Every structure is written in structure tokens, then in C-alpha cells.
Amino acid sequence: MPEGQTVLSLLRKAEDKLSSVSHDLARRDAEIMLAHVLDTSLARLPIYEQRIPPLHIDQFERCVRRRQAGEPVAYIIGEQEFWSLTFKVNEHTLVPRPDTETLVEVGLRHLTPGKPTRILDLGTGSGCILLSLLHERAEASGVGVDKSSNALAIAKMNADQLGLLSRCELREGDWYEALREGEQFDLIVSNPPYIQSSDMLALMPDVREHEPHSALDGGVDGLDCYRRIASDAAFFLCRGGTIAVEVGIGQHEDVADLFVMSGLEAVSTHADLAGVMRVVAAKKAAES
Ligand code: GLN
């Protein structure tokens, strides 16, 4: 192998270039992108012994330049791991965040294994929440709604890749407007846009300049989407069904109030791994 062309030296050079954008994650970002270009895993990267063809070196250098310009790694390699599954993503979908796995965990607690249950995911994006739930519950089926047809195209590819197409329907529409009269679900989940409009400019440049604003901007107080989601939840939930939503930092009490005002009960809040109240859940009464 000519000098300067080993995995290690490529990583070192890239880490240097990325330090101002990726900070502590510079090495990790470089490794993820190089493993992707070489079609190997992160674990196998250190023992990669084949000669690196110039084509792959060029590809890797292009990836590094894109990252230097602030593009998130997930968009550069076109995928992101979530719930130990691989999801395709692009600029039309939010990059799935580890925080959102808390919503999957809470949702799973309300899906009895072995029981055929129906799930609705509002603003499904890449489909990461709905598809992770379906992956864990072989008897469940679900509907993913998004107003972006471009996002739905990605969700469909993910459903296909995970072998879940037969159990999920992806529909274009504005929240509940995509549903049919009388349709009801055992579990409704959503990770809606929840950033206050005035905070959009303060987001990290990676997010602000690359991720879809329609997936982030939650209106003046950040709660617009929760109002829409809460107001009709009881209508689309089965009796005893659960709704669980992700919330931004400090929004859990307001969202809990919205659920109570919409006639839901048994409101609970759930912290993520960092201790932030990240999920608010509520139930529709079993009897009415
Ligand atoms: N449900 C998707 C996710 O959690 C998209 C959420 C969104 O676009 N706000 O990644």
C-alpha cells in the first residue's frame, strides 16, 4: 500500500480536518464515513487490510468535504442506526435521534406481545418509530402519516428493507386528515416538530442548515402540533388505547395539560437516558 493510504492515515488526516465541525466526534465521524465507503463495519475497520483503491479514497475525501461544510454524517452516508436497525435517511427526513428510542420503549409497554394491535405514527418521517415498534411486535400493524411525500418515499424503502411493508401503510396527509372516519388505533405515537419558531435560528448549524424545517418548527410556543395531535386523539384511539409523544426540554407539563384538556386520562411522563422528560403518554378511558 503506498504511503499515506492506510485506513489509519486516512482517518488521522480526516480527524484533523473535521475537528472544527465535529469536535469530539471527529474521529468517530471519519470512521463511520470510511467504513461506509469501504463497505465494511466499524468493528472491522481497524483490521481492514486490503489495498484501498484510489476511487474509494476519492469518495472518502468527498465525504469529508461534505462533513466539513456542516452536512450531518447520516445524510452523507444516507443512513442512520436507530433501535439497532439501519434506516435510510435524506434531507427530507429528520435524522433519527437516540432520545427518540425512549418513545419506542414507552410505546412497546403498551403493545401486548402476541396481541394484534394497530399503531398510528403521526409525522412518521423516515418511519423509524413505527417500524421499530412493528419490528418488535410481530402481530402489530400500523399506519405512518406524513405530509411530505418525499419523506414517505424513504419510509417505504425502510419498511421494505426491514421486511415490514406488509404490516404498514404509509399515507400522505396532514395529521389525522390522512385517516378514514371510524379508524381507531391501540397506540398513537408521534415525534412532532417542537422547536419554538424563535429558537430555530439558534439551532446548531448542522441541524438548522440541513434538516427539514417542517420537521422541526413547532410554531410560536413550540406546541402547535401537540394541540392538533391532542385535540382529536380520543376520536382515533380505541377504548383503553394509549397516545405517547416525544417532547422538547421543558414541554412535558404543557403537553400533559393538553392531553387532560382533550379528555384523556392516566397521563404519565418518561425521562430519556440523560434524565430529560422526553415522552408524555396518556390513555383514553376503557369505559365511557
Ligand atoms: N418520526 C420521525 C422521527 O422521529 C420524524 C419526526 C419529525 O419529522 N418531527 O425521526
Q: Where are the domains of the chain?
A: 7-69, 83-283
How many angstroms does the Cα of residue 100 sit away from the middle of ligand 1? 9
Pick the CATH number of 83-283 from 1.10.3720.10, 3.40.50.150, 3.40.50.720, 3.90.1150.10: 3.40.50.150
Q: What angle do CA 196, 199, 204 make, to 5 degrees?
A: 125
State percent of the chain over pLDDT 90.
93
Q: What is the pLDDT of residues 58-68, one digit of tens each?
A: 999 999 999 99
Q: In which band, very low, low, confident or very high, does the pLDDT at 264 lie, cut at 50, 70 and 90?
A: very high
Q: Which of 99, 126, 245 to mutate to test the pocket of ligand 1 (most atoms within 8 A of CB)?
A: 126
Tens of pLDDT, residue by residue over 138-177, are 999 999 999 999 999 999 999 999 999 999 999 999 999 9
Q: Could you tell me the distance, in angstroms and rounded to a whole number, from the CA of residue 286 to the centre of ligand 1?
A: 29
CATH topology for the 7-69 domain: Helicase, Ruva Protein; domain 3 (1.10.8)
Confidence of residue 1 (pLDDT cuts 50, 70, 90): very low
**pLDDT tens-digit series, residues 5-43:** 889 999 999 999 999 999 999 999 999 999 999 999 999
CB within 8 Å of 166: residues ≥ 6 apart: none
Alpha-carbon distance of 19 to 229, in angstroms, equals 41
Choose the residue to mutate in 91, 95, 100, 210 for probing ligand 1, maximizing ligand atoms within 8 Å of C-beta.
Answer: 100
